[in-house]
A and B are shown apart, each in its own frame.
Chain A
Amino acid sequence: MTVALRTAAAIVGSREEAADIAQEVALDALRSADRLRDPQAFDAWVRKIAVRHAIRALRRRRAPATAVPIGLGWDFADVPAVEGDRDLLIAARGALAQALTTLPPRQRVALALRYVHDLTDREIADALGCRRGTVNALLSRGRAALRQSPALRELISMMEGSR
């Protein structure tokens, strides 16, 4: 359920919605556990089910996606004392979260699996049921789309400048 929750949260961007998806994934997994041949592949199997449910959830959405409550993972020991730096981190988190919500579902899935689970192209391809070349294309297009956000570009360059 942890794997399902993390995968879904990264894709749909809301813990609440991810918890609902994780619940469906867990029930699916319980129902079809007899189809799992290799116990070592349990995580990958759950991820695949989670991806399927998360994509379905994204496509079901009719209203524009709400901002994703994800952000730069704060280790509070590193929170800068200078007020402006802290605000910069918060602003970058918001801009990146917003930019991620604008990506097509499969691009979001590819980025989520890469940056949340550190999966290889092959593993992402397995989860998405596509070829490795397609994964490369999804990742490239996703990153390129993020770079199009002027606000995000500016914030990242400010962060680079403040290091």
Chain B
Amino acid sequence: MSDAWERALRSALGPARALEPTEAEVQQVLTIDRSRSRTRSRPWHLPRLATAACAVVAIAAGTLAVPVTRAAVEDVLSAFSDWVSGDDGSAPGRPIAAGEDVQPWVLKEDGEKRVLAVARGGEKLVAIRDGDTITFGLDNFGVSGTIQDLRERIAGEKMMIVGPGDWLPNGRHDLRPVFGVVTPAVKRVEFTYADGGPPAAQAGLDGGFAVTVETNRPPESLIGYDGSGEVIARKDIRDYGMRYCPYVAGCPPWPPAPSPRRTP
């Protein structure tokens, strides 16, 4: 079998490799198991209970677990806080070079080091420091505040969506980049859809992402992976629709979600 066949097979099965059970599916299993255990004739003895508990933890780990220690110390702003205080060595992304193509409003003042390019997807997502404030900016949109202000808004999250970029120039309004910032531990993000089809993904992150998504599919989750492929962050993005509906009064509802699993 040629390389092309091998590649095609591997990539055709790629979506299966990226599937994750939803929290509801995990909860469903635990609920069914609890209801079955109540009807068992003999009580579980301790070793069995302990092993089963390990299995529950292992099963739930795929979707729910975030390492406690890392979760306690890191949020999406951790990597930028030292940079805002003036420590240029610790920042993610890269400094914007003089003369580099960047949104004009970014460059209204002095030197290059106050602006970092965090991600690129058609346009750039930049971080701008100005005194004690930081702005995450796209061409025509930005989120701004002091680290403390922003931290109150994001409440410990490891991924923050800044906003969508311009439509990609394919003339169909069905592809659009979504930009965001992530903690240094997040090395890959996946933008999954409620239809269960192939997700959009971006790897090799350094503080930010620009993932190109299909706007005519219902979004579901933004999943963050660390360097070893473990899920360390998950964000519900079901309300983050970006459909383009110029000819109707608002977009029609999404098609019904897949039917729920069997109830106990």
Residues of A within 8 A of B (CB): 1-3, 5-6, 9-10, 15-16, 18-20, 22-23, 26-27, 29-31, 33-34, 36, 39, 42, 69-77, 79, 81, 92-93, 96-97, 100, 111-112, 115-117, 143, 146-147, 156, 159-160
B18 → A minimal CB distance (Å): 7
Q: Are B4 and A156 interface neighbours, CB within 8 A? A: yes
Q: Given the interface contacts A34-B52, A76-B200, does A19 sit within 8 Å of B18 by beta carbon?
A: no
Task: Say if the beta carbon of B213 comes within 8 Å of chain A.
Answer: yes
- In the bound assembly, the distance between CA atoms of A156 and B10 in angstroms comes to 13
Docked complex Cα distance between A103 and B5 (Å): 16
Q: How many A-B residue pairs have CB under 8 A?
A: 155
> Would you give the shortest CB distance from A49 to chain B, in whole angstroms?
11
Interface residues of A: mostly helix, strand, loop or mixed?
helix
Whether the Cβ atoms of A36 and B9 lie closer than 8 Å is: no
What is the CB-to-nearest-CB distance from A66 to chain B, in angstroms, rounded to a whole number? Answer: 14
Per-residue 0/1 for B4-29: is the Cβ within 8 Å of any A Cβ (1 yes, 0 no)?
11001111111111111100011011
In the complex with contacts A19-B25, A69-B196, A71-B12, A159-B19 CB distance below 8 A = no
Please state if B4 and A22 are interface contacts (CB–CB under 8 Å): no
Q: Residue B9 contacts which of A6, A29, A81, A96 (CB distance < 8 angstroms)?
A: A96
A30 in contact with B202 (CB, 8 Å): no
Does B32 lie at the interface of the complex (its beta carbon under 8 Å from any beta carbon of A)?
yes
In the complex, what residues of B have CB within 8 A of residue A116's CB?
13, 16-17
Residues of chain B at interface, number, CB under 8 A: 54
- The docked-state distance in angstroms from the alpha carbon of A96 to that of B13 is 10
> Are the C-beta atoms of B11 and A33 separated by less than 8 Å?
no
Instruction: Judge whether B1 is part of the interface by a CB distance below 8 angstroms.
Output: yes
Of B15, B18, B29, B201, the residue contacting A1 (CB under 8 A) is: B29
Q: Does B42 contact A (CB under 8 A)?
A: no
Interface centre among B16, B52, B63, B196 (most CB of A within 10 A): B16
A115 and B51 contact, CB distance less than 8 A: no
User: Chain B's nearest CB lies how many Å from the CB of A133?
Assistant: 19
Q: Can you sample 19 A-B contacts with CB below 8 Å? A: A1-B26, A6-B17, A15-B258, A16-B258, A19-B25, A23-B25, A26-B59, A29-B55, A70-B13, A70-B15, A71-B12, A73-B12, A73-B18, A75-B202, A77-B202, A115-B9, A143-B5, A143-B9, A159-B4
Select one of B2, B19, B26 contacting A6, CB under 8 A.
B19
Give the shortest distance, in Å, between B11 (CB) and chain A (any CB). Answer: 5
Q: Does B58 contact A (CB under 8 A)?
A: yes
B126 at interface (Cβ–Cβ under 8 A)?
Answer: no
**C-alpha spacing A113/B90, complex, angstroms:** 42
Taking a contact as CB atoms under 8 Å apart, the answer to whether A96 and B12 are in contact is yes
Contact between B47 and A34, CB atoms less than 8 A apart: yes
**A24 vs B67: C-alpha distance in the bound complex, in angstroms?**
28
A147 and B21 within 8 A (CB): no
Residue of A1, A29, A31, A76 ringed by the most chain B CB atoms within 10 A: A76
Known contacts A26-B26, A29-B59, A147-B1; can you find 11 more A-B pairs with CB under 8 A?
A16-B258, A19-B25, A20-B261, A20-B262, A23-B29, A36-B51, A71-B15, A72-B8, A92-B8, A112-B13, A143-B5
Whether A159 lies near B48 (C-beta < 8 A) is no
Contact A10 B13 (CB under 8 A): yes
Tell me if B135 counts as interface (CB < 8 A to partner A).
no
CB distance from B114 to the nearest CB of A (A): 28
* Cβ of A13 to closest chain B Cβ, rounded Å: 9
